[in-house]
Amino acid sequence: ALDRAGTAHVVWVKAGDGGHEILYSRCGEGQCAVPLRLSGPTPLPAASSGPVSAPAIAVNGHDVVMVGWPDGADGLAYGTWAAAEAPVSAMTSNVPLADVPLAGEQRLSGTADGSFVLVFNSDSGSSGEIQTLRWVDGSWEAPPQTIGTGRLPEIVMDSEGTLHAAWCEADGLVYWSEGQAQTPFSTPCTSRPGLAQDSEGRMHVAWYADQVENALGRTASHDVIVESIEDDDNWLPPAIVARPDRASPPALAAGADGVLHMAWSEAEPAQDAVAYATQVQYDCSAYPLSGIAREVYDIARQDTYQPPGDIVPYCQNHFDRLWFTPNSDPAFSDHPPTPNGGFDGFADLVRSAR
């Protein structure tokens, strides 16, 4: 989670012989502080999938950090502290969920007014009720509110104070906002989705899938992270944004500048690693055109040539190479023939694009 100063707050589970520990660190300017132990060693509930027992973290608009995690038979524990300060071991207590003994898969979102919203599955490890609970002025507002059924929920509050949630169910990924739920994607949902709002106010959802469908309707098995963007109350078709080497749920966060940050796990030689990417929304306002360039740009944007509102990307780009299809004539090109011609070369170029 990111605070208003751009400092990243990270929390994770460390397994050891004596049980599990909840560790926390702050990262900024290319360095991370020495991890501090928030809880443990304690035996956390066994999880049917890795992310179920993972702790949740959020920072609200007053730069207060909250962390929540499963605490054995006591349900969900949580703690809060100022983002600029180190947490203390005596700050933890339990969320009042006596009527939901199997609550888990918790996630948190901070709000601009200084409160927090907790979302959780009432039957951790299987499909249960997706419920929310608010933390206001230092206390929880019971009882929890049910917003749907499924598992592995995520939640985020946007810049206008609207609550958004997403979770997995048998039919795929469910998106919920303002009391309305929809299942807009056929791509399988097998891990917790990530949610974030970009600098243009659009919601992004990313999730791991173990199969994809191409434009011809053919399904193939692949480990992929896909993303969709809400555009004028419609969701764009999911696009592949990463190809992890295993099942890897993504985490999304938006900075105060609207830049999106995504992290996921990869298996590097002899150790696990965290992969990281950022996404800046395309904006050409700082690149004015003049003369013939403006004339060509205005013509290209006419409805005759493309749908209204589509972006014509003219800035922050440069010419790289020219590809011929299906294959170049060997007399004029050093590129060897491939089964898909120029499309193979373009695919290789896209994989290395930043």
List the one residue out of 351, 199, 201, 226 whose CA is nearest residue 282: 199
Looking at residue 153, what is its pLDDT? 93
The 10s digit of each residue's pLDDT in 42-77 is 544 443 333 336 789 999 999 999 998 877 655 688
Query: Does 155 score more than 90 pLDDT?
Result: yes
pLDDT confidence band for 41 (50 / 70 / 90): low
Phi-psi region for residue 129, left (φ > 0), alpha (ψ -120 to 50) or beta?
beta
As given in the structure block, the two tokens for residue 108 are 């948190």
pTM of the entire predicted model = 0.75
What is the DSSP secondary-structure string of 306-354?
A: S-TT-----SS--------SS---TTT-SSPP-TTTHHHHHHHHHHT--
The 10s digit of each residue's pLDDT in 193-245 is 999 998 888 999 999 988 887 777 788 888 899 999 998 878 988 888 888 88
Rounded CA gap, 197 and 189, in Å? 20
Rounded CA gap, 82 and 64, in Å? 5
The 10s digit of each residue's pLDDT in 189-199 is 888 999 999 88
Query: Does 108 score more than 90 pLDDT?
Result: yes
As given in the structure block, the two tokens for residue 269 are 């030689």
Better pLDDT: 158 or 293: 158
**Cβ atoms within 10 Å of 196's Cβ, excluding its own:** 24
The 10s digit of each residue's pLDDT in 308-334 is 767 676 676 666 667 777 887 888 778
Q: What is the mean pLDDT of the chain?
A: 82
Strand order in the sheet with 180-182: 104-110, 116-121, 128-136, 139-157, 163-169, 172-177, 180-182
